[in-house]
Structure 1
Amino acid sequence: MDNDQRRKLLIKVLADKQRLSVEQLVGMLHASPATVRRDISWLSGRGLLQRTRGGAEHRASEHHHALAGETFQQNLGVHSAEKRAIARYAAGMCQNGETIIINGGTTTFMMVEFLINLRMTIVTNSFLMAEQLLRHSENEIIIPGGHIYRDQNVILSPFESDVIQHHYASRMFMGAAALSPMGVLEWEPLLVQAEKRLLTQANELVVLADSSKLSVKRASLILCGLDRIYQLITDTGLGDAAAQMLERAGVKVVAVTPDTA
């Protein structure tokens, strides 16, 4: 079991049991006490659980009205090394003075630390990204009006008209629930509706998706076809079959090496 799998399992068992000791987690995760303690420290530092004396406890969500699927905080700890490397590469494509669009998602959120020294106009529906960039950078930040879905870290408007519709971007950076021969997939209709609006305002679409997204079967709503993608940034775990499928569709693929832990 690799780091991502073990940490995801740790979060799941805590959600079920609420509070567990290191000794209990050792048996459940089939890992050493030292490894479990490192995982608890890593997850606690990212707000994914609450550290306790001799163990950990589930960190309850502050908001129960969320879109379908796992929460943003849970997903942030999954395939994090791959996501960070992908985010770094994506941020390296950006230049001062540009206007870009970044949708809400865990991989796109990791772009924040690599954008803080730039001066751009950034349109985003991620309130957490907006808050971090406002606090730590001089980028101009534009967000839509609408309802905040805290567990998914996005602002979505049910209305067709919004202030962001007047901003044109050189490119849009977007995460995805999955990629298939049918295109970029999502699992929530409201997300599809909002992101389709953003797509009309960008010249190039750059998709940020770790290689696991090429084998996800759950998402079933088509956001856009593969022909809309200018570039896919993924990781070196991309399988041959997936790479050939993307190549046949004419998608430009960049595969980056995951960050070391």
Structure 2
Amino acid sequence: MNDSDRHRLITEMLLETPFASVRDLQERLGVSPATIRRDIDKLHEIGKARKVYGGISANDVSATGRLSARPYDENRDIAVDAKRAIAEKAAGLVRDGDSIIVHAGSTCYQLGQQLARRNVRIYTNSMPLAAYLGEHGTCHLTLAGGELYREPGIIHDPSAGAPDFFASRFFLGTQGISAEGLLESHPLLTKAIGELSTCADEIVLLADSRKFSIQPRNIVLPLSRIGTIVTDDSLSDSGAKMLEDAGITILIAAIGVPS
């Protein structure tokens, strides 16, 4: 397979999903990570796609024919270093004795691992995180009630409304970020986040810099509702300005550097 063939296949992939990691492309195309990175650099250079942390993104994500959330078990292996660094930074916001809400998602899962043996009360709707904390944690754990929705990995009762739990902080991730707010393609996540957002003093967003290039259709929360974002050191100047204009405190986690 020559360069042109690979470039065509990559751009076709981006019509189906807004982001592809180096690992995704390596598995699909059967070439080395170094070759994939050269392909990404070239497609970025000629304006066919955007180079982002951990992989490549479609230029106009809103125009992609299919924009669905990745299943949790796929998403957890993307940008792992950035997610781990963000989680370590976010854990520093939590004090012993705090009551917090940790939403579903792979970055929030990393945060839960950081807090597993801390003296904190954690409410979560994440099935993977609940399983981890049940086996490895000593923290006080409260689980959401309802049915298990396997694709987003959450437990939710659509008829129950907001839970009877109040927290100092609600930690959540997002599929995408725009000037309009946090964005998701899965309607159940939109509903669950909206309910949990009423149960905390402050909302803290955990989002690696890729999320600024992903634009699903559903607005979950306006940026004005977010108190703090913890992101990685690949945050663009335009992204930083958008957050600052919304009055959001920005905490930067340096990838590969302990918090």
What's the TM-score, normalizing by structure 1? 0.74
The two structures, once aligned, show a CA RMSD in angstroms of 2.1
1:209 to 199, 207, 210: 207
Contact 1:8 1:78 in 2 (8 A): no
Which position in structure 2 is the counterpart of 1:122? 122
Q: Deviations over 1:99-154 (max 9, x none)?
A: 10010001111113311220211110101101111211211111112221223221
Which position in structure 2 is the counterpart of 1:171? 169
* Structure 1 position 182 matched with structure 2 position 187: no
* Residue aligned with 1:113, SS: helix
Which position in structure 2 is the counterpart of 1:111? 111
**Residues in 2 aligned to 1:89 and 1:29: alpha-carbon distance in whole angstroms:** 30
**Residues in 2 aligned to 1:111 and 1:27: alpha-carbon distance in whole angstroms:** 31
Amino acid across the alignment from 2:251? V
Q: CA deviation at 1:161?
A: 4.2
Contact 2:22 2:33 in 1 (8 A): no
**Residues in 1 aligned to 2:24 and 2:141: alpha-carbon distance in whole angstroms:** 32
2:218 to 204, 214, 221: 221
Contact 2:167 2:200 in 1 (8 A): yes
Amino acid across the alignment from 1:183? G
* Structure 1 position 239 matched with structure 2 position 241: no
Amino acid across the alignment from 2:207? A
**Residues in 2 aligned to 1:161 and 1:149: alpha-carbon distance in whole angstroms:** 16
* Structure 1 position 25 matched with structure 2 position 41: no
Contact 1:10 1:25 in 2 (8 A): yes
Which position in structure 2 is the counterpart of 1:8? 24
What's the TM-score, normalizing by structure 2? 0.75
Contact 1:148 1:154 in 2 (8 A): yes
Unaligned residue ranges in structure 1 (runs of 5+): 14-23, 32-66
Q: Deviations over 1:159-198 (max 9, x none)?
A: 1346xx2110000000001111101111122211111111
Q: CA deviation at 1:68?
A: 4.1
Contact 1:156 1:191 in 2 (8 A): no
Relative to structure 1, the CA distance from residue 225 to residue 26 in structure 2 (aligned partners, 3 Å threshold; closer, same or farther) is closer
**Residues in 2 aligned to 1:77 and 1:102: alpha-carbon distance in whole angstroms:** 19
Q: CA deviation at 1:28?
A: 9.5
Which position in structure 1 is the counterpart of 2:138? 138
Amino acid across the alignment from 1:232? I
Amino acid across the alignment from 1:99? S
* Structure 1 position 200 matched with structure 2 position 190: no
* Residue aligned with 1:111, SS: helix
Which position in structure 2 is the counterpart of 1:250? 247
**Residues in 1 aligned to 2:26 and 2:152: alpha-carbon distance in whole angstroms:** 20
**Residues in 2 aligned to 1:155 and 1:104: alpha-carbon distance in whole angstroms:** 9
Contact 1:178 1:215 in 2 (8 A): yes
Which position in structure 2 is the counterpart of 1:102? 102
* Residue aligned with 2:132, SS: helix
State the aligned residue count: 208
Contact 1:6 1:29 in 2 (8 A): no
Which position in structure 2 is the counterpart of 1:154? 154
Unaligned residue ranges in structure 2 (runs of 5+): 1-19, 37-66
**Residues in 2 aligned to 1:158 and 1:139: alpha-carbon distance in whole angstroms:** 27
Contact 2:161 2:195 in 1 (8 A): no
Relative to structure 1, the CA distance from residue 136 to residue 249 in structure 2 (aligned partners, 3 Å threshold; closer, same or farther) is same
